[in-house]
A and B are shown apart, each in its own frame.
Chain A
Amino acid sequence: MAADEHVSMIPAASKVGWSAEVNGRGFGDEIESGAILLDVLRDQVGTLGVKRGCDMGTCGCCTVIIDGVARLSCLTLAGEAEGCEITTVEGLATGHHLAPIQEMFSECGGSQCGFCTPGFLLTSAALLAKNDSPSDSEVKSAIDGNLCRCTGYQQIVESIQAAAEILRSDAKSKDGTAAQMDPHPGLGAGDAGE
């Protein structure tokens, strides 16, 4: 391959210890010093919901939430995210209960082929955590870094607005002690997310 002719030999990068809290669980391993967070999440942590789309920051499929901020994992160095709280799409649901944003994406047709969906879910979750009554234009500017080639975005905006409505009514009527109905009664709550 032509690449062999000109790429100067770069000595293999050193390995370093790395730890972070991914979806509420501590994770620690040795990673390559200059590793990209996307690679570590997919190849070492195993959270395959983080999608590799363009790998260049254009499509937003690899979005994760780092310490409350939606970030592109393909353009984030793992070393810089060390010790941070990282949320991937796997961390949105509570046990078998989908988060309102996931529920509404499925309800309103916000997801079709599904490849971009994890990115959209996390970008919207980060938006709704800060602002539970965004205007349509705030929603659109929040998701301007996520590309979807199926839906035409209208259903995505509707899904986010529907989820915002649930969050608002939840905030009003939240009774932390009320029992929630288990949508998958046979599975048992203890093994969620294993």
Chain B
Amino acid sequence: MRTPPFNLHLPTTVSEAVQISAELRAEGRETDWIAGGTDLLPNYKWHLNTKSDVISLARIEGITSVSMTEIGAMARLSEIADGGEAHPLIAAAARKVASSLIRNSATLGGNICLDTRCFWFNQGEDWRSSIDWCLKCDCGTGADCRVIVNQNELCVATYQADLAPNLMVLGAAIHLAGPEGERSLPICEFFKLDGMTRNVLREGEMVVKVTLPDEVGQWQGEYQKLRLRESWDFPEAGVAAAWRLGGDGTLAELKVATTALESIPRLHDQEVAPIIAAGWSGEESITALAKAIQQTVKPVNNTAFPPNYRKKMTRVMCERALAQLSIN
């Protein structure tokens, strides 16, 4: 299916990008940002919520840097994965995203802001027309959600990106720029539990960069990803864990986050806290934590694998991610 026509804008600075977006919206036109295009363009080709104007961030200078404590929104995933500059956990997670060809185009900002996915939504136009559309792309018909029917309020499309949970466990902050100026917030507060709103980005606001705390080098971690085809697919479930060991080699801090199980990635501090409070006992604690996290996540039936399997695998992957802590 051919991409519907749109006007492309190629600003060279962040302020120019924000200004173009504001001007277009003042004229009553709708805009989308495009970073690497590996998520937006397939959606456009399927005629999913297309806009008349698209603002490319590709020419903007100064937002492609990769270092231990700062990654620009337009840093390519291939650079993050193989450049040797990013935190090892972020690099390993980036390496697990899609294929090498996709990673050559895909970016950090695009990955964080990935549109939520659902097998009632990510389909061709004729297919969606045959089921009378769905809430996320209702084409003006007021269609209901096809996954959880008769509610017509909440989109439960799944957030299937890999980097966000890893950034969460490392305590990252996300920096935004928009018509009302710049702001930054912890990445945990960036996401909104609705498959359509997805995050706190306001109209005309864009992601500029992600920063990590100075002491991030002391943190180690592991990311486990469940997918259909090892070399290519979106995560069906993902567990990121990061920890810091104290001077005596015992566990000092632990963070666990999951992705691809709900409309947002989620940090599991609530499940981790009681286990740590009870005293870390290696394997036993891991089993208890993995079980607690399995019980918290609420996948729905809208991706390739059934929700029960994804839930069970969340426990398994949690145990695998934490295996290195089993001796402590």
Contacts and interface: CB of A to CB of B under 8 A. Distances in A.
B102 interface: yes
B50 A71 contact: no
B69 interface: no
B37 A144 contact: no
A34 B99 contact: no
Contacts of A36: 3, 41
B42 interface: yes
A75 B37 contact: yes
A60 B42 CA distance: 14
Interface in A1-27: 2-3, 5-8, 10-14, 16
A2 B5 contact: no
A83 B45 CA distance: 25
B38 A57 contact: yes
B185 interface: no
Chain B interface size, as a band, is 35 or more
B99 A32 contact: no
B10 interface: yes
Contacts of A55: 1, 45
A123 interface: yes
Contact of B54 (A5, A14, A34): A34
A34 B140 CA distance: 25
A34 B101 contact: no
Contacts of B104: 69-72
Given A57-B102, A70-B101, A7 B4 contact: yes
A105 B14 CA distance: 45
Interface in A53-67: 55-58, 60, 63
B52 interface: yes
A39 B100 CA distance: 22
A77 interface: yes
Chain A interface size, as a band, is 35 or more
Contacts of B101: 57, 60, 63, 70-72, 123, 145-146
A182 interface: no
Interface string B234-271: 00000000000000000000000000000000000000
B297 interface: no
Contacts of B10: 79-80
A80 B58 contact: yes
Interface in B50-70: 50, 52, 54, 56, 58-59
Interface in B1-24: 1-8, 10
B107 to A, nearest CB: 12
Most buried by A among B8, B42, B56, B231: B8
A33 interface: yes
Q: What 5 A-B pairs come out closest when comparing CB atoms?
A: A145-B99, A145-B101, A13-B5, A6-B139, A144-B231
Given A76-B105, A79-B10, 16 more contacts: A7-B4, A13-B7, A33-B6, A33-B8, A34-B7, A69-B78, A70-B104, A71-B101, A71-B104, A72-B38, A75-B105, A77-B8, A77-B34, A77-B56, A80-B10, A145-B99
